Amino acid sequence: MRKLLATLCLFLAAACLRSAEDPAAAAYDRGEYAEAVRLWEERAAREGVNSALLSSLGNAEWRLGRKGRAVVCWERALLLDPEDPVALAGVRHARNAGGAERPAATWTEDYASLLPDGVWALIAAAALWTAVAALLIPRLRAVPAGRLSQRVLLVAATALVLTLPGLWGVRTRSDRAVVRRAETQLRLTPTAEGESVSVFAEGDVIRAGRGFNGHVRVRAADGRVGWVRAGEIERVEGSGLPARSGEEQP
């Protein structure tokens, strides 16, 4: 009995501490999801976004029925932390709730996730200029390239080659997008009168390509290819909160 009371006291104390430290989480626990969204968005404006905030915001948005915005939150959280358990659970839940299959990550995208996006570019630039210096300095000094220069050139060239898959993975990962509107028509041509060949549900994750005439060419994981209106999708790649449509104003 004492153990049960002690456990209950610890639980209540933790809940109180959680409420005091995170009013947004407390609002979410009370079922006040719109208020939780407002408070998390205010925190993001003050402190910036992180994977935990995006994951929590995605949960609240899903509870409010805003599936597209929720999935964007979870996908962006996974860009910051590919192992975020809340975001992973969220995208699995969205898929089990009837969403389309997410595009499978390529090996270059998995490779790119080993480091933050900007780090790949920094390593590539440093390796390139180091290789250039190792080639040019001996020539400018009019002396044969020594063993040190050769080793530096070899290391720099190797580092540059190793960054190429990461840079490509960053590039292709930026093509991922989320359908933001229910019953989004996949059209055969990039026009409003184009024949509808399929329909996407809100929250479906697709790959977005080039744009034309206010439309974007997209590809689904199941092989469907066509055009959707640019305003009906939102790219996952981004550093802030998802866009808010007119129907989603707080």
From residue 140, alpha-carbon distances to 11, 130, 131 in Å are 71, 15, 15
Are 203 and 94 a contacting pair, CB within 8 Å?
yes
- Do you know the residue count of the chain? 250
Fold that domain 175-248 belongs to in CATH: SH3 type barrels. (2.30.30)
Using pLDDT thresholds of 50, 70 and 90, give the confidence band for residue 130.
very high
- What pLDDT is stored for residue 103 in this prediction? 87
- What pLDDT is stored for residue 249 in this prediction? 53
Q: Please, what is the average pLDDT of the chain?
A: 85
Rounded distance between C-alpha atoms, residue 26 and residue 12, angstroms? 13
Write out the two tokens for 66: 């805003």
Centre a 10 Å sphere on the Cβ of residue 72 and count the other Cβ atoms it contains.
29
Rounded distance between C-alpha atoms, residue 119 and residue 122, angstroms? 5
Q: Could you tell me which residues are beta bridge partners of residue 229?
A: 215
The tens digit of pLDDT for each residue in 46-66 reads: 999 999 999 999 999 999 999
Question: What average pLDDT does the segment 60-89 reach?
Answer: 92
Domain ranges of the chain: 2-96, 109-173, 175-248
Write out the two tokens for 171: 């590039």
Nearest to 105 by CA among 203, 217, 205: 205
Question: What average pLDDT does the segment 5-22 reach?
Answer: 44
Centre a 10 Å sphere on the Cβ of residue 109 and count the other Cβ atoms it contains.
22
- What pLDDT is stored for residue 250 in this prediction? 53
Using pLDDT thresholds of 50, 70 and 90, give the confidence band for residue 6.
very low
Cα-to-chain-centroid distance, residue 18? 27
Using pLDDT thresholds of 50, 70 and 90, give the confidence band for residue 246.
low
3-class SS of residue 75 = helix
Those residues whose C-beta lies under 8 Å from the C-beta of residue 81, and which sit 6 or more positions away, are 51, 87
Question: What average pLDDT does the segment 194-215 reach?
Answer: 92
Question: What average pLDDT does the segment 168-183 reach?
Answer: 91
- What pLDDT is stored for residue 14 in this prediction? 39
Q: For 207, phi and psi rounded to 5 degrees? A: -105, 130
CATH code, residues 2-96: 1.25.40.10
Write out the two tokens for 71: 């999935």
Cα-to-chain-centroid distance, residue 53? 13
Nearest to 18 by CA among 30, 32, 34: 30
| pTM beyond 0.85, yes or no | no
Question: What average pLDDT does the segment 110-118 reach?
Answer: 85
Using pLDDT thresholds of 50, 70 and 90, give the confidence band for residue 189.
very high
Cα-to-chain-centroid distance, residue 243? 14
Q: Could you tell me which residues are beta bridge partners of residue 185?
A: 199
Using pLDDT thresholds of 50, 70 and 90, give the confidence band for residue 248.
low
Q: Could you tell me which residues are beta bridge partners of residue 208?
A: 218
